[in-house]
Amino acid sequence: MLADLVFGDDQSRGMLELRLQAFLAELGPNPLSDAQQRVADLVDAKKTQLVQHTLSDLSRWQTQLRSLANHLEDLEARSGRAALADLQSADPPPANAED
């Protein structure tokens, strides 16, 4: 794949990052060439996609966590009612011998 040839493997990633930083430092306020602008546009599009994907994941997690919290609240209420019913139905303690 072309991206593999251009960007290399994990071992060469550091060198690529240094070269990119040097390129951007040299570029400064100068306008981008058409090819550079296309690359920048693709990077911006990818960043947008990543953010949208992350936000949709967060929304899904939020929905699932709310559902779980509601379920836990229901279980807590049920267990409280069951414990109270058990206490009320238990035999009363034996009368004191002194009474």
Name the stretches of the chain with pLDDT < 70. Answer: 1-8, 91-99
The alpha-carbon radius of gyration of the chain (Å, integer) is: 32
Amino acid 6: pLDDT: 66
Which two structure tokens, joined as six digits, stand for 27?
Answer: 């570029």
Amino acid 99: pLDDT: 53
Element housing 7 (H / E): helix 2-7
Amino acid 11: pLDDT: 77
Distance in angstroms (rounded) separating the CA atoms of residues 82 and 85? 5
Amino acid 65: pLDDT: 95
Q: Where are the domains of the chain?
A: 1-30, 39-88
Query: What residues have CB less than 8 Å from 32, skipping those under 6 apart?
Result: 40
Distance in angstroms (rounded) separating the CA atoms of residues 10 and 68? 40
Amino acid 95: pLDDT: 64
Amino acid 89: pLDDT: 86
Amino acid 68: pLDDT: 96
Helical ranges in 8-98 per DSSP H: 13-27, 34-89
Amino acid 77: pLDDT: 95
User: Do 56 and 64 meet the contact criterion of CB atoms below 8 Å apart?
Assistant: no
Amino acid 23: pLDDT: 78
Amino acid 94: pLDDT: 63
